[in-house]
Structure 1
Amino acid sequence: MEKVEGLYQELQLLVKSEQYEAASHICDKIRLLGCMDSEVLRTKIYCLIQRKMWNQALFLIKSLEKDEIELPFEKSYCLYRTNNYKDALETLETLGDPTKALSKLENRAITHLKIQILYRLGQFEECERLYSIMEPIIAKENNSVELEMLQVNQLAVFSSIRNINKNIEDFDIPDYLTNSIEYWFNRCCLYLSNNDIDNAMTSLEMSESLYNSLLENDESEDQQSPDVSDECSLALMRAYIMQQIGQNEEAKLLYEDSFKKFGLDGVKLEPSMVHLGVVAYNNYFILSKNDNPHSYIDGLKRLSITSKDQIEHKMTVNQNFIISLNKALLLYNESGFKQYIKQAEKFSVDKLKLDLFKIGLFLLQGKTKKAVQYINSVYSKNQDNIEFSISVLKILLKLKMINNAFKILDSNIDQYICNFGQWTISPELFNELLILIHNILIEKFSNSAIDMIKQKLKFILKHAISKSTSNKSNSRLPSLLCVLGKHLLIANLASEAAECFRFVLEDLGDSNNDSALSGYVSASTLCGNEVPKVYLRQLDKKLPSNVFSIDAEVLEKMEAPTRAPEKDSHDSKSMYHGNLTIKTKSKHKKRKPRYPKGFDPLNPGQAPDPERWLPKEQRLSFKKLNKNRNSKKGQIGKGGHQGAIPTSNIEAKPAAPSTAKQAALSSSSGIRRSHKKKRR
């Protein structure tokens, strides 16, 4: 008994000193002595979890379940670490709703684990909801460490959500986050998801400077040693930003340097950095424009072998979904693309995205009828989804199937417009819808298209105003109505446009809306209506001060300035941010010259004959030769052709006098020869 008590004391000391391997051996000794206490087994499970031995811990947890002792939190955590996310979430939900009592540390730990599982499953909106519940409670406790971790992870969730409703400028930077590499990196991801390249580059530079300061202070004991994966992530992020702004050559060089420096090609890659290798390889393959799809798939297989585990466990659901779609797209002309479509179905969070991808594959394969049949079958189940309807209209318009597009426009879209007050789509998507309506009506009614467009816009305006009065709380209504007002102005419906903008300013109470204010002034001016002075004063305040110093009469008399375009002017559309040059893509693609095999462009040798493609009689060399021949024609000498007869009287020799005797001799000799031949 004394021996068992001594082992218990030794076990406590080992756990406190974090010597988990020795502590697990002590647990085995206690159980061998006949002590079957469940607490000993729980302690061993805890030690195995700390040693990252998830499968052994799961085995012990299941053995405890036979004795009706359940450990749902530990089991869920082990399932999460072994990439069984759905089973982990189901096990965790047996503990109930942890958000009801977040002041307890147990419930807070359950909530943190649940958010991690949901993030892996791609349920980012639910993660955002849980973070918004936890943040004020943790902020009251002044726990800076936990609050820092929460806000860093919260930024990662925000950057994964498309069309986020929050304003990025609202994310103030607390003092305790200014020295966090992860915070600035996630902030960079958030800016990138909102296409704000300038701020994304600023955040990345902040993260890089913090990492460099860690490298400089690496020798001190107080500073945490920098992780190589952080440096690799920063390098890949810079390459990705270069790729987004169109500087593909610089991005390729950065990716190649990362392959060499960090071993991302899969030969000497650490298992903890496999997900970075997959991301780098995927982006680099797109830039390299390799026509061999099997090299892409073989490269991913090599990374999978290096990781000693399946790659899909190292990636998020969205990343696995995109990689599966890339594989299917590369092999769309081969039979192997179907297995990758099945993989994408396993990782798909939004099924409609996968359906649109299948439609695109059918069109690439030339199966137009099959694509249209699939469109009809999918659209019949998702008629209420306006985003999917707009995508279908685009496809049908591209296929010149105007009747099918008009049928969808006349039935389902009109029903959706009747619920204008409940719309949650973005203004950009609504603008695309109005452009599609315009193009479809032009194709359908070529003669009376303008009248049909005006009728459709008036119909939308009528329902928009009537439905918006009862749903003024919808924050998207002002921006949607401003988009509608601009299209009314384009269609020469100035009075309707003025009414639309006035509704935004007065009825919706958004008097500070710049687009509505300028639109109302311009529409009222076109109609000949008097604009209220209140709006004119507001518009004057928004104009720059130097506008009022310009004399209109002097400006009219001035000649139009003529200036030659400069190469490095603002028309080049280039932005500069520190060492980063952002250039827009040129309209005409510059292709590299294609050289013959074995040709060295640095040492080309003798230039080829420029007339080598012409027929011989049309070449200059042939004409010169002909000219020389014609000039020497009639001369008999060295180099003259056989049978040449002199043409000039000077060069010809004088003819000998002819006599009857010579003529008779020449004729008789010819006769004699003929007779001799006959005798023989």
Structure 2
Amino acid sequence: MSSREEIKAQNIRQYYTELSKFGQAGEYEKAIKSANKIISIAPEEVKAVHCKLVSLIQLSKFDEALKFIEKTPSAQSLLFEKAYCEYRLNKPEVALKTIESAKINPLPPNLKELKAQVLYRLEQFDECFNLYRDIIKNSTDDYEEERTTNLSAVCANLAIEGTDKKIPELGENTYELVYNSAVALSGIGKYNEAEKKLKISEKMCREFLEEDEATTEEDIQNELAIIRVQLAYCLQMQGRNKEASAIYAETLKNKPNDQALTAVASNNSVVINKDQNVFDSKKKIRAAMIEAVEHKLNSRQKKSIAINNCILALFTHQGDLNQLVHKLVQKYPDLEFNGCLIQSCSLIKEKKYKEASEVLEKFAQKNPKSSLEIKFALIQLHLMAGNKTKAIEVLQSLENSTKFSPGVVSALVSLYLGTNDKSAASDLLKVAVDWYKQNKSTEVGDLTDMWRHAADFHLRGGDAPTAAKSLEELHRSNPKDMKTLAQLVIAYAQFDPKKAQDSSKKLPALETLTTQAEIDELEATNWTMITKAVKKKTSTKSDQSPGTPGSETALKKMKKKKRKNKLPKYYDPNAKPDPERWLPKQERTGYRKKRDRRVKEVMKGSQGMASTQADMYDMTKAQNLGQNVKASSSREETTPGPRQQQRKHQQKKKKGKH
């Protein structure tokens, strides 16, 4: 070996010593420099390349790591690191291709676990479930609990999607497992049970974190935030919006580290607000739609946020609603129906019913499979416009399996009766009964109510034979129902007395239904009059025959009820009543008309002056009224009139102001 090669080997050993030292100390920047020194001397050193790549990943420099892999030929074999960088850069599709390019069967454990994470991000939960089960089965290390938690998260998503796959019981010994179990329950609509489990999970989480003395209250609140938001969702779905809204508000106030959680809480708050607190909703929907959370939310969450953004724009009458709907459909083609409904609602607000129906009809032509939903939307639109005939036409165009369902039949009958077309309603019920007889479909469920309503309708309409058909179906389904049998006898009696007689024999005997005492009481009852009339009749009879027992007590009661008329307090029986007491006031002799202030009088006194005081200044009357004037003036001096008192009071106030 030459001296140059010896020096090279010595330098490489020295740099590897530095690299190991910096790597163990977590000084990754210095580790990268040491690795670069080795690579510059010996580019074929795969270990140095690997150490540099790991250091870049530890520093979250994923872009730089990928560029380094592309430039370095010896790094091409490091598929795990390359796929991991692509996964962290939110490129799960590319990462999956990189893993599958390994062409190793079976995959090494590290690639297998990374592939499971990538499949979860891509929402391929069936494959992810199978892969995690295989990993847990064939691995024995300290990460078994984390893998079980990940598997429970996959199971929760499978439950939400409504899979037929048998989900294993993973236990509930950690708060994460209890949380995922609660999410699975909420996904299938069992919100009450999920609420209980979430409260248990919250308690377990707090107890677990409080055991570590280094954990602060802020850290505990951050960890509890996801559990509390899920709890608020369960409360919201149970209609307990006030409690849910309080939890969302508290979570947003604490500003959790998880931006995806903030987006979910903001979106759910917007749903609670509906068309109220629009300014607050706008602020929150913006927080839910930032780019930073785009890759942290699953497709269901992103779709619901996008739809809510459009609905909020509908509530706020924004001009760019059509543009928002266009973007929604462009990004999520499966939400085209939702976009059409939002557009039609916008047109309905403007009372453009024709244009709204055209939007829905155009979508129905493009998507025949979703025609049922569109037709029901069109029916609602026609009813809002008051066009019952059009609504009937759309309902009649439905397939028989849908058209003859109890709900649709009921709606059609109501619409027919609303248009005064009783014959069409009767024909529809006949056809529905015949269709169910021929098909005997069990998918619809209990048809008892429909048979009964059909029978009542036809009996009231005088169509006893058709009513009998419905009652026969009812009687077959429940032969012990005597009410149905009695109705059937009544129906038969109108067109087939023999059948009525035969059916009546199946009815129970009267003696089995009632006792002899009840029969006697019923026979003694006067059915022609109501109770009040009977009482009145008996009382008049007792008045006509005073000799009958009890008549004297009745007369005494009548006498007691009579009361003397009350007279006025100062009534004088000797005084003659006023002959003009029944005349209107304006026709009586002593009536004085109100003084017209517009007519000028010859002589006026000061305000509040009595008429006798005015006469004092009349020279023609002064001699005759002298004594009276003196008496009245003396009384007025002692007790001034209300107007004079008011004037004096006001004058005092004015003086006080100056």
TM range (shorter): 0.5 to 0.7
Q: Say yes or no: does 1:254 pair with 2:229.
A: no
- Relative to structure 1, is the Cα distance of residues 343 and 113 closer, same or farther in structure 2, using a 3 angstrom cutoff? farther
The answer for the alignment partner of 1:331 in structure 2 is 313
The answer as to 2:451 corresponding to 1:447 is no
- Kept in 1, the 8 Å contact 2:178–2:201? The answer is yes
**Amino acid paired to 1:56:** E
The one-letter amino acid of 1:149's match is T
* Count of equivalent residues: 495
Q: Does 1:192 align with 2:186?
A: yes
Per the TM alignment, residue 377 of structure 1 is displaced from its structure 2 partner at its CA by 1.3
Pick from 208, 211, 218: which aligns with 1:214? 208
Measured in 1, the distance between the counterparts of 2:357 and 2:133 equals: 51
Residue matched to 1:233: 226
Give deviations 1:361-406, integer Å, cap 9, x for gaps: 3333443222211111111122223653464355345344555555
Deviation at 1:152, TM superposition (A): 2.1
Cα distance per residue 1:392-423 (max 9 Å; x no partner): 35534534455555555444524x769x9xxx
Residue of structure 1 equivalent to 2:85: 78
Mapped partners of 1:462, 1:80: distance in 2: 60
Partners of 1:488 and 1:494 within 8 A in 2: no
| Secondary structure in 1 matching 2:12 | helix
Tell me, yes or no, if the aligned pair for 1:293 and 1:327 is still in contact at 8 Å: no
Matched, 1:31 2:39: yes
Give the structure 2 partner of residue 655 of structure 1. Answer: 621
What residue is the counterpart of 2:109 in the other structure? 105
Whole-angstrom CA distance in 2 between matches of 1:386 and 1:113: 38
Report the more deviating stretch, 134-143 or 375-384.
Answer: 134-143
Distance of 1:501 and 1:213 partners within structure 2 = 62
Task: Give the letter for the 1:336 counterpart.
Answer: D
Residues 239, 250 of structure 1: 8 Å contact kept: yes
The aligned counterpart of 2:149 is 149
For residues 517-532 of structure 1, what are the structure 2 equivalents within 5 Å?
526=484
Q: Are the counterparts in 1 of residues 225 and 251 from structure 2 also a CA contact under 8 Å? A: yes
Counterpart among 594, 605, 608 of residue 640 in structure 1: 608
C-alpha distance 657-46 of structure 1, shift in aligned 2 (>3 A): closer
Partner in structure 1 of residue 294 of structure 2: 312
Amino acid aligned to 1:44: K
SS at match of 1:234: helix
> Gaps spanning 5+ residues in structure 1: where?
120-125, 264-268, 421-429, 469-477, 503-518, 530-550, 558-628, 659-680
Q: Go from structure 1 to structure 2 and tell me whether the alpha carbon gap of 1:315 and 1:132 turns closer, same or farther (over 3 Å shift).
A: closer
Aligned to 2:324: 340
Q: How far does residue 235 in structure 1 lie from its aligned partner after superposition?
A: 3.1
- 1:117 shift after superposition: 2.4
Q: Conserved in 1, the CA contact under 8 Å of 2:206 and 2:220?
A: no
Whether the aligned pair in 1 keeps the contact of 2:80 and 2:111 (CA below 8 Å) is no
Deviation at 1:525, TM superposition (A): 7.7
Shift of the alpha carbon at 1:199?
0.8
Amino acid at match of 2:320: G
How far apart are 1:282 and its partner, in Å?
A: 3.0
Deviation at residue 49 of structure 1 after TM alignment: 3.2
Contact 1:72 1:91 in 2 (8 A): yes
Name structure 2 gaps, 5 residues minimum: 1-8, 456-466, 488-511, 519-592, 625-658
1:331 is paired with a residue whose SS is: helix
User: What amino acid sits opposite 2:373 in the alignment?
Assistant: F
Distance 2:41 2:410 in 1: 80
Q: Distance in 1 between matches of 2:408 and 2:514?
A: 43
Distance in 1 between residues matched to 2:472 and 2:16, nearest whole Å: 83
1:62-141 matches, cutoff 5 A = 62-63=70-71, 69=76, 74-85=81-92, 87-88=94-95, 105=109, 108-109=112-113, 111-119=115-123, 126-127=124-125, 129-134=126-131, 137=134, 140-141=137-138
Within 1, Cα distance between the matches of 2:420 and 2:307?
39
**1:203 alignment counterpart:** 197
Deviation digits for residues 226-248 of structure 1 (CA, Å, limit 9, x no counterpart): 65432222333344444444444
Q: Write the distance in 2 (CA, Å) between the matches of 1:7 and 1:105.
A: 31
Superposition map of 1:346-385 within 5 A: 346-347=331-332, 349-385=334-370
Distance verdict in 2 for CA 1:137–1:240, change over 3 Å: closer
Task: Give the letter aligned to residue 230 of structure 2.
Answer: M
Q: 1:358 to 1:250 in 2, by over 3 A?
A: same
Structure 1 residues 348, 312: CA separation in 2 closer, same or farther (over 3 Å shift)?
Answer: farther
C-alpha displacement of 1:213: 0.9
Matched residue of 2:422: which SS?
Answer: coil
Please state whether the residue corresponding to 1:314 is helix, strand or coil: coil
SS in structure 1 at match of 2:122: helix
Deviations 1:408-460 (A, max 9, x none): 5444524x769x9xxxxxxxxx7765655555665678322433432453465
Paired residues of 2:388 and 2:415 also in contact (CA < 8 A): yes
Q: How does 1:40-79 map to 2 (within 5 A)?
A: 40-63=48-71, 69=76, 74-79=81-86
Per the alignment, residue 413 of structure 1 pairs with: 399
Q: What residue in structure 2 maps to residue 625 of structure 1?
A: none
Comparing 432-441 with 31-40, greater Cα deviation is found at 432-441
Q: Map 1:541-560; keep pairs closer than 5 Å.
A: none
**2:324 alignment partner AA:** Y
Shift of 1:209: 1.1
The 3 A distance-change label for structure 1 pair 381 and 6 is: same
Deviation of residue 210 (structure 1)? 0.4
RMSD over aligned Cα, in angstroms?
Answer: 5.2
| Contact 1:135 1:147 survives alignment (8 Å) | yes
CA spacing shift, 1:363–1:103, aligned 2, 3 Å: same
The residue type paired with residue 90 of structure 2 is N
C-alpha contact 2:28 2:56 (8 A) present in aligned 1 = yes
**8 Å contact 2:273–2:281 — kept in the other structure?**
no
Q: Provide, for residues 617-660 of structure 1, a one-character-per-residue CA deviation record: whole Å limited to 9, x for no partner.
A: xxxxxxxxxxxx989x999987426xx745999999983799xx
Return the offset for 1:112. Answer: 1.0
1:207 CA displacement: 0.8
Match of 1:589 in 2: none
Q: Within 2, Cα distance between the matches of 1:227 and 1:647?
A: 94
Alpha-carbon distance in 2 for matches of 1:103, 1:524: 72
Match 1:395 to one of 380, 394, 399: 380
The answer (yes or no) to whether the contact 2:192–2:234 under 8 Å persists in 1 is no
Structure 2 match to 1:608:
none
**How has the CA–CA distance of structure 1 residues 447 and 34 changed in structure 2, closer, same or farther, with 3 Å as cutoff?**
same
Matching residue's letter, 1:313: H
2:12–2:38 Cα contact (<8 Å) kept: yes
The one-letter code matched in structure 1 to 2:122 is L
Q: 1:383–1:412: 8 Å Cα contact kept in structure 2?
A: no
Q: CA deviation at 1:464?
A: 4.9
What is aligned with 2:454?
A: 491
Fraction of identical pairs, as percent: 19
Distance in structure 2 (CA, Å) of the matches to 1:351 and 1:89: 30
Measure how far apart 1:339 and its partner are: 4.1
Larger relative contact order (Cα-Cα within 8 Å, sequence gap ≥ 6): 1
In 2: Cα distance, 1:459 partner to 1:79 partner: 64
Q: Within 1, Cα distance between the matches of 2:120 and 2:299? A: 13
Partner Cα separation in structure 1 for residue 471 and residue 70 of structure 2: 69
Specify the SS of the correspondent of 2:369. Answer: coil
> 1:131·1:150 contact (CA, 8 Å) conserved in 2?
no
| Matched residue, 2:527 | none
Shift of 1:205: 1.1
CA deviation after TM superposition for structure 1 residue 202, in Å? 0.6
Question: What is the alpha-carbon distance in structure 1 between the residues aligned to residue 55 and residue 471 of structure 2?
Answer: 70
Q: Please give the alpha-carbon distance, in whole angstroms, between the structure 2 residues aligned to 1:497 and 1:21.
A: 88
1:436–1:655 CA distance, 2 compared to 1 (3 A): closer
Alignment CA distance shift 1:440-1:433 (3 Å)? same
